[in-house]
Amino acid sequence: MLTSPRNISLFISILVAIVTGIFSALMFFINSSDIWKYLLVEILAIFIIAYVITFYTIRKILINKITPIYKIIQQTGNSNLNNIDSFDNKNLIEEASKDVTNWFKLKTREIEKLKKLEKYRREFLGNVSHELKTPIFNAQGYISTLIDGGIDDKNINKKYLEKADQSINRLITIVRDLELISKLESGELELNRENFNIVQLLKDIVDLLEMRANKLNIKVQVNSGEKSIMVNADRPRISDVINNLIVNSLIYGKQNGTTTINFYDMENKILVEVSDNGVGIEEKFIPRLFERFFRVDKSRSRDQGGTGLGLAIVKHILEVHGETIHVRSTLGEGSAFSFTLNKA
Residue pair 252/335 in contact (Cβ under 8 Å)? The answer is yes
| pLDDT of 163 higher than 80 | yes
More reliable by pLDDT, 15 or 221: 221
Query: CA torsion sign, 126 to 130 to 131 to 133?
Result: positive
Confidence of residue 98 (pLDDT cuts 50, 70, 90): confident
Amino acid residing at 71: K
Closest Cα to residue 321, out of 246, 239, 238, 247? 238
Q: Which phi and psi angles does 3 have, rounded to 5°? A: -120, 0
Residue pair 276/251 in contact (Cβ under 8 Å)? The answer is no
CA–CA gap between residue 205 and residue 222 (Å, rounded)? 11
| pLDDT of 78 higher than 50 | no
| pLDDT of 138 higher than 80 | yes
Give me the pLDDT at residue 84, please: 44
Give the highest mean pLDDT range of 43-57, 87-101, 184-198.
184-198
Q: Residue 77, class by beta-carbon neighbours within 10 Å (0-12 exposed, 13-18 middle, 19+ buried)?
A: exposed
Give me the pLDDT at residue 79, please: 45
CA–CA gap between residue 18 and residue 24 (Å, rounded)? 10
Average pLDDT over residues 123-141: 80
More reliable by pLDDT, 157 or 341: 341
Average pLDDT over residues 198-226: 89
Three-class SS string for the chain?
A: CCCCHHHHHHHHHHHHHHHHHHHHHHHHHCCHHHHHHHHHHHHHHHHHHHHHHHHHHHHHHHHHHHHHHHHHHHCCCCCHHHCHHHHCCCCHHHHHHHHHHHHHHHHHHHHHHHHHHHHHHHHHHHHHHHHHHHHHHHHHHHHHHHHCCHHHCCCCHHHHHHHHHHHHHHHHHHHHHHHHHHHHHHCCCCCCEEEEEHHHHHHHHHHHCHHHHHHCCCEEEEECCCCCCEEEEEHHHHHHHHHHHHHHHHHCCCCCCEEEEEEEEECCEEEEEEEECCCCCCHHHHHHCCCCCCCCCHHHHHHCCCCCCHHHHHHHHHHHCCCCEEEEEECCCEEEEEEEEEEC
Closest Cα to residue 170, out of 218, 138, 144, 194? 138
Q: Which phi and psi angles does 304 have, rounded to 5°? A: -90, 5
Task: Supply the mean pLDDT for the chain.
Answer: 80
CB atoms within 10 A of CB 195: 12
Confidence of residue 166 (pLDDT cuts 50, 70, 90): confident
Chain centroid to CA 224: how far?
36
- The number of CA neighbours under 13 Å toward the Cβ of 191 is 19
More reliable by pLDDT, 270 or 170: 270
CA–CA gap between residue 42 and residue 15 (Å, rounded)? 15
Confidence of residue 337 (pLDDT cuts 50, 70, 90): very high
| pLDDT of 219 higher than 80 | yes
Closest Cα to residue 244, out of 325, 171, 314, 164? 314
| pLDDT of 327 higher than 90 | yes
Residue pair 327/280 in contact (Cβ under 8 Å)? The answer is no
Give me the pLDDT at residue 326, please: 93
Confidence of residue 273 (pLDDT cuts 50, 70, 90): very high
Average pLDDT over residues 223-235: 87
Give the highest mean pLDDT range of 41-55, 122-136, 311-325.
311-325
| pLDDT of 92 higher than 90 | no
Percent of the chain with pLDDT over 70: 80
| pLDDT of 303 higher than 60 | no
Confidence of residue 1 (pLDDT cuts 50, 70, 90): low
More reliable by pLDDT, 268 or 58: 268
Give me the pLDDT at residue 73, please: 66
Domains in the chain, ordered, with CATH?
A: 5-90 (no CATH), 106-186 (1.10.287.130), 193-342 (3.30.565.10)
Query: Model's pTM, two decimal places?
Result: 0.60
